[in-house]
Amino acid sequence: MSRGFMQRLVALTRKEFRQLLRDSSNLAIGIVLPIVLILIFGYGLSLDVKNAPVAIVLEDGSPTAFEAVAGLRLSPVFSPVMLGSMHDAEALMRERKVDAIVRVPASFARDLGMGTARIQLLVHGSEANRATIILNYATAALGRKAGPGPGIAVEQRMWFNAANTSTWYLVPGLIVLIMTLVGAFLTALVMAREWERGTLEALFVTPVRPAEILLAKIIPYFCVGMCGLILCLLAARFLFHVPMQGSLLILLFSSMLYLFVAVGMGLLISSVTRNQFIASQVALLTSFMPSLMLSGFLFDLRNVPVVVRVVGNVLPATHFMELVKTLFLAGNVWPLILRNCAILAAYAVVLLGLARFVTRKKLD
């Protein structure tokens, strides 16, 4: 190995290092991306069920009835909530504030002595895997407390997913991912390409206002997103036979709100980065990946650490995910619909406003 070879190699390597350090996007992809991915996958992946909220309705106030449900209170899997009526428990179940209802009838103590005691167990089935785990754990806990002597029959029923199939749970979530991909990812790439080619600067020298340019960019991708939504709804209904318990009009309205959010995110990313490669990476990290891992699409956010749960609740996709699954499987739960629609509307206003502000600032 000659001395000249080493000198040339060192000089070229030094030049490549300087070039690498000069472009912050290289460092972001080489260092920040692995850190973000390991944090998202490390904290976001969880198949465990912990502290699942369970409503307990004791219509029988005898010590025997309390003893029958004591296993739920002692288990780390459940977080029991004592309620006075089935009406209150069902309301919490529809709003997805509890995962299950355990109902002990008024004649429980008398029936136990006759060997015909029964406990009703209702489980929220919108997430099939979680529902199955809760069902098995709750049945075991109630059965274990039965002890020797006459047994207790646990009458199980799955709400909002009678077939207990994961398809009903995954297909509505896929709609959220597809709309995120079309709205944020595609818009960011296409707009960044126009920034690179200079076609937007050519428009800026014309009398056309920045707001008009942004609106003209939003409308086509909004239409593409709505076409994708309609195709997804048709596939969900006729290919996968997912029931539609809620209002289709509300679903379309909330989808339009979320599409504004996704398009606004894409416009903001493209206006800030103005580079296709960087825009694709930023859109991937800030929209698609969090929507896949931290929105509740695959895993329940209540099973992840608090910090990750807070991050997940900040994402607009999390609120749209909850809204879509509720409309498909549970029906029109108005407190949940109004809250999530208000959040999506606020996100849309903020993101589109920021995109408009950044674009105007660059033009000035």
pLDDT tens for each residue of 273-325: 878 888 888 888 888 888 888 888 877 777 777 787 888 889 999 999 989 98
pLDDT tens for each residue of 179-200: 888 888 888 887 788 778 877 7
- Contact at 8 Å (CB) between 188 and 266? yes
Tokens of 182: 């079309």
- Contact at 8 Å (CB) between 83 and 37? no
> 149 or 123, which is more confident?
123
The mean pLDDT of 69-98, rounded to a whole number, is 85
| Whether the predicted model's global pTM rises above the 0.85 cut | no
Residue 348 banded pLDDT, cuts 50, 70, 90 = very high
Residue 128 has pLDDT above 80, yes or no: no
Q: What is the pLDDT of residue 107?
A: 86
Give the rounded distance of the alpha carbon of 341 from its chain centre.
Answer: 15
pLDDT tens for each residue of 323-338: 998 898 888 888 889 9
- Contact at 8 Å (CB) between 322 and 96? yes
Q: What is the pLDDT of residue 198?
A: 77
pLDDT tens for each residue of 252-278: 999 999 999 998 998 888 888 878 888
The mean pLDDT of 160-164, rounded to a whole number, is 71
Q: What is the pLDDT of residue 255?
A: 93
Q: What is the pLDDT of residue 360?
A: 63
